[in-house]
Chain A
């Protein structure tokens, strides 16, 4: 019985090297949960995590946490490896696209041409506006 208690009291000093993340991760999960529940209750077809993102933004704008806060460290940890989280879905497309070979031509053309046109148009419009529209104070 003494050992775990002794272990607990030893934990107080060096924390700087390992920033606390637990509360930050918990806040992310709660924001997502509230967002998911909200879209389901309202019946709107919209991703719950995006609503959660807005909630979390609201929290950050009002709380303005310090850089060392777990509200910063938790999200930072997840965002550092954001790419990793897309891999399972990416593997799925390889499995799926093999089944639509007959439509490969129109699919490839539709996907990549529209991607390029949309991307270039957005970039040029945004960069022109950033140069020519007077910035809000």
Chain B
């Protein structure tokens, strides 16, 4: 009887499970492993490991009545490595440097195009769809990587937490639909694909680009960094005219 009650809701063991980092770490890795397995099995772009893991974890949290803050006790150990992984993106950039240095003009113009169009469209479309001014400001920096979009949102008077959520959603959208859209519009040059992924879908898109090819990943990583700069400069400027 006790063996059955041990893992049950409300008991001391349950409290330990939900407050130990082990829970959040294990469920994150498990969701990711399941997502990769499903992706390999089905070859379907819908089964992005991140998306599968997110759905699985949200369901487990709901069923177990566990808050996001409790999940983050372990989740933060995983998310922590994002910073080091961003630094690591210099590696594909270094390995593909012979291609990157020759494509300086397409890279720079591509990044500027991406930042200009993304910011302008974000503000105008949100406005036309009936969003308040604060909502437009919240949407404006979403193509840049999360720390930059978050800081910009604070600076211009948006809702920072919502900007962070939108930024990640833009990244996930890019990771799932990006390569498909690129195929549809006939962009096959790996360098151009990388420039688009990095400029509009930041780190999450870059992760997907790296899976497609090292060249695409290198261009994506570079453009992610450059877009952070371009967005920081262009958002305050564009908001004066829009």
B109–A88 contact, CB under 8 A? no
Give the A-binding residues of B (Cβ under 8 A).
24, 28-29, 31-32, 48-51, 53-54, 57-58, 61, 68, 71-72, 75-76, 78-79, 81-94, 97, 101-107, 109-111, 113-114, 117-118, 121-122, 125-126, 128-132, 135-136, 139, 142-143, 145-148, 151-152, 155, 161-162, 164-166, 168-175, 178, 181-182, 185, 187, 189, 191-193, 195-196, 199-201, 203-204, 206-208, 210, 217, 221, 224-225, 228-229, 232
Q: Is A121 an interface residue (CB 8 A)?
A: yes
- Say whether, besides A50-B145, A60-B94, A105-B130, A87 and B31 are in contact (CB < 8 Å): yes
In the bound complex, how far is the Cα of B169 from the Cα of A9, in angstroms?
51
B84–A78 contact, CB under 8 A? yes
B130–A106 contact, CB under 8 A? yes
Give the B-binding residues of A (Cβ under 8 A).
25, 28-29, 31-32, 35-36, 45-50, 52-57, 59-61, 72, 74-76, 78-79, 81-97, 100, 103, 105-107, 109-127, 129-131, 133, 135-137
B118 to chain A, nearest CB (A): 3
In the bound complex, how far is the Cα of B172 from the Cα of A129, in angstroms?
27
A110–B129 contact, CB under 8 A? yes
From A31, which residue of chain B is reached at the shortest CB distance? B87
From B131, which residue of chain A is reached at the shortest CB distance? A106
In the bound complex, how far is the Cα of B229 from the Cα of A33, in angstroms?
20
- Say whether, besides A32-B84, A79-B85, A133-B105, A114 and B118 are in contact (CB < 8 Å): yes
From B89, which residue of chain A is reached at the shortest CB distance? A53
| Best-buried of B29, B75, B83, B139 by chain A (most CB within 10 Å) | B83
Partner of A52, one of B49, B87, B91, B93: B87
B106–A130 contact, CB under 8 A? yes
What are 5 pairs between A and B in contact, CB < 8 Å?
Answer: A32-B87, A45-B148, A89-B164, A111-B139, A125-B110
From B53, which residue of chain A is reached at the shortest CB distance? A87
| Best-buried of A29, A121, A133 by chain B (most CB within 10 Å) | A121
- Say whether, besides A53-B221, A87-B31, A78 and B204 are in contact (CB < 8 Å): no
From A29, which residue of chain B is reached at the shortest CB distance? B84
Neighbouring B residues of A52 by C-beta, 8 Å: 83, 86-87
